[in-house]
């Protein structure tokens, strides 16, 4: 019902998919399944968007009422949730933007001073498993969760550049950046696929499409810490992907350059159990979402 309401209110599948943080094909399947379940056409699709049929308008009014009552019921039950001594178990990946958590954590501490945050460095795959097994309350992951067990919100997008040895920078590599294909012949200092399969497959597909050699695969049990990246890149025969605000100072022997056209964009989602009614978690997620919409930060 939330998906249907979003499509009608946004006037199209594309805008509604962005609002719900899911793919357009997945949203289209959801709406199609709802129409099949009811045996009615709810939307009329055209090149300019979608419009609700008479049956769709009836469902829209009823759906809004049902969702409002549903949210009201959850809020009433959540008011009985004990807040004293709560622990918010947070999973975070490597290379998280340094200013992403400061504001939201400060807001959480101000509004819910009884909540203590317990952070763990985990890969995306490990976080998703921990969330389902009730070992984490919220995770910051590099791929959108699949299925109905977890909810998610996009919190940051980073246009990745590259790290190169200074003496390996192509002659045409200037302040405006370089093209990805100019790195053909160099190895990519990658990360284990097991840590985030969907993100790994996206990156490798982009690199291959630009004619790049991926080099030897990273060991599946090895977390690629910054020190390992820097040492490998310093050899002059490899490159690594790097976010705009690399978390550590780049040695003078290395250079970070943006990629012209921004072919590789890394997205980070906040993910949490769909059945969670915690007010402190909801406040933290809302603060993360507000921070991504501040001027100067790339967001959805």
Take residue 233 and report the two structure tokens written for it.
């890149």
Q: Secondary structure of 228-275 in the HEC alphabet? A: HHHHHHCCCCEEEEECCCCCCCCCCCEEEECECCCCCEEEEEEEEECC
Q: 73 or 16: which carries more pLDDT confidence?
A: 16
* Residue with more model confidence, 131 or 15: 131
pLDDT value at position 70?
74
> For 209-230, what is each residue's pLDDT tens digit?
999 977 666 655 455 566 677 8
Q: Where in the chain is the domain with CATH 1.10.10.10?
A: 2-78
Q: What pLDDT band is residue 292 in, cutting at 50, 70 and 90?
A: low
**Overall pTM > 0.95:** no
Query: Which CATH fold would you assign to the domain 161-263?
Result: D-Maltodextrin-Binding Protein; domain 2 (3.40.190)
Class of domain 2-78: mainly alpha
87-147+274-292 is a CATH 3.40.190.10 domain: yes
State residue 161's pLDDT score. 93
Give the count of beta carbons closer than 10 Å to the beta carbon of residue 198.
Answer: 15
CB 104 within 8 A of CB 287: yes
Instruction: For CATH 3.40.190.10, list the domain ranges present in the chain.
Output: 87-147+274-292
Cα separation, 267 vs 203, in Å, equals: 12
Q: What is the pLDDT of residue 229?
A: 74
Question: In this structure, what DSSP letter does residue 152 have?
Answer: E
Question: Are 161 and 177 within 8 A, CB to CB?
Answer: yes
């Amino acid at each position: 019902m939330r998906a249907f309401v979003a499509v009608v209110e946004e006037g199209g599948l594309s805008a509604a998919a962005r609002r719900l943080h899911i793919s357009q094909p997945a949203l289209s399947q959801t709406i199609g399944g709802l129409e099949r379940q009811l045996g009615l056409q709810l939307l009329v699709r055209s090149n300019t968007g979608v419009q609700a049929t008479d049956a769709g308008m009836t469902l829209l009014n009823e759906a809004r009422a049902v969702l409002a009552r549903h949210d009201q019921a959850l809020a009433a039950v959540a008011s009985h949730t004990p807040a004293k001594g709560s622990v918010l178990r947070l999973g975070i990946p490597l290379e998280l933007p340094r200013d992403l958590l400061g504001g939201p954590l400060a807001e959480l501490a101000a509004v819910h001073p009884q909540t203590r945050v317990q952070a763990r460095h985990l890969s995306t795959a490990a976080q998703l498993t921990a969330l389902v097994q009730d070992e984490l309350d919220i995770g910051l992951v590099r791929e959108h969760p699949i299925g109905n067990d977890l909810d998610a919100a996009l919190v940051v997008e980073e246009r990745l550049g590259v790290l190169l040895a200074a003496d390996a920078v192509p002659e045409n590599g200037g302040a405006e950046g370089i093209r990805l294909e100019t790195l053909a012949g160099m190895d990519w200092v990658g990360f284990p696929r097991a840590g985030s399969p969907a993100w790994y497959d996206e990156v490798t597909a982009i690199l291959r499409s630009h004619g790049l050699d991926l080099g030897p695969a990273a060991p599946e049990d090895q977390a690629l810490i910054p020190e390992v990246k820097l040492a490998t890149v310093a050899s002059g025969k490899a490159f690594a992907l790097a976010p705009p605000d690399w978390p550590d100072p780049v040695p003078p022997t290395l250079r970070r350059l943006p990629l012209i056209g921004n072919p590789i964009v890394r997205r980070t989602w906040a993910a949490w159990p769909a059945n969670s009614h915690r007010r402190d978690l909801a406040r933290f997620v809302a603060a993360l979402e507000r921070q991504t919409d501040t001027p100067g930060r790339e967001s959805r």
